[in-house]
């Protein structure tokens, strides 16, 4: 899975943005997988995720976390803003041995530290090579920092701009603006905590 590999921003900003997801391989380990996905999300919820979600149910900005967990199928996501939480989640997943693939996205060195502390090693590593082509047609870099937190490109650059204007006008706080954006990310990999910080900077 690489849809969480293309997030943009400074090292400082991205150090508060880690995604852990669990996925099945169809025909390989998808038998009786739903309780395992639910177990993954249950572990994640113990460590203060900034978002959780599944493609079939959406994120906890759509529904209560318990509803997301109860209706998860095929893949589950959890977003964290610190390495300590990621490390603890990985330790619990190692002990639980659920038998499904786990992917961690974030700054490579940070992910590596989490794995080492959890007593794990990389199986595979994917790197984003950036955006190629007519990049002059892209939104501004600060807008892309927000929109690329949705791996399926469901957060509109124009909506981000509208939220910045609302923050400037005082009709929304950065946190409220981030929560307006978050439900558009259908699988729940959007990080509203980081988004609020980015939107506040843009509004200045």
Residue 23 pLDDT level (bands cut at 50, 70, 90): confident
Last residue of a domain, one of 117, 150, 171: 117
Domain identity same for 96 and 162: no
Task: Tell me what percent of the residues of the chain surpass a pLDDT of 90.
Answer: 68
- Tell me: pLDDT of 13 over 70: yes
Domain count, the chain: 2
Do 106 and 175 belong together in one domain? no
pTM of the model: 0.91
Domain co-membership, 192 together with 151: yes
For residue 98, the enclosing domain spans 11-117
pLDDT attached to residue 70: 75
pLDDT at 10: 95
Top-confidence residue, 52 or 54? 52
Domain with residue 25: its CATH number is 3.30.70
Of the three residues 117, 149, 167, the one that is the final residue of a domain is: 117
Residues 89 and 178 in one domain: no
Average the pLDDT over each of 12-21, 31-40, 171-180 and give the range with the smallest value: 31-40
Cα–Cα nearest to 77, from 111, 43, 110: 43
- CA–CA gap between residue 129 and residue 91 (Å, rounded): 30
Task: Report the pLDDT value the prediction gives residue 60, as an integer from 0 to 100.
Answer: 64
Per-residue burial over 63-72, b if 16 or more Cβ lie within 10 Å, else e, is: bebeebbeeb
Instruction: Tell me the C-alpha to C-alpha distance, in Å, between residue 131 and each of 54, 148, 164.
Output: 26, 11, 24
């Amino acid at each position: 899975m690489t849809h969480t590999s293309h997030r943009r921003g400074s090292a400082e900003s991205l150090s508060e943005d880690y995604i852990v997801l669990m996925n099945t391989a169809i025909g390989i380990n998808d038998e009786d997988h739903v309780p395992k996905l639910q177990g993954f999300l249950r572990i994640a919820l113990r460590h203060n995720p900034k978002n959780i979600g599944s493609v079939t149910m959406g994120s906890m900005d759509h529904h209560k976390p318990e509803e997301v967990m109860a209706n998860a199928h095929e893949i589950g996501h959890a977003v964290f803003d610190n390495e300590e939480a990621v490390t603890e989640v990985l330790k619990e997943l190692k002990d639980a041995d659920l038998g499904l693939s786990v992917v961690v996205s974030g700054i490579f060195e940070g992910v590596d530290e989490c794995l080492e502390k959890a007593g794990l090693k990389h199986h595979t590593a994917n790197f984003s090579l950036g955006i190629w082509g007519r990049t002059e047609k892209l939104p501004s870099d600060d807008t892309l920092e927000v929109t690329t937190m949705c791996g399926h490109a469901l957060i509109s650059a124009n909506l981000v701009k509208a939220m910045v204007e609302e923050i400037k006008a005082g009709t929304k706080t950065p946190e409220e603006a981030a929560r307006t954006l978050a439900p558009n990310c259908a699988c729940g990999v959007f990080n509203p905590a980081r988004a609020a910080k980015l939107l506040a900077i843009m509004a200045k």
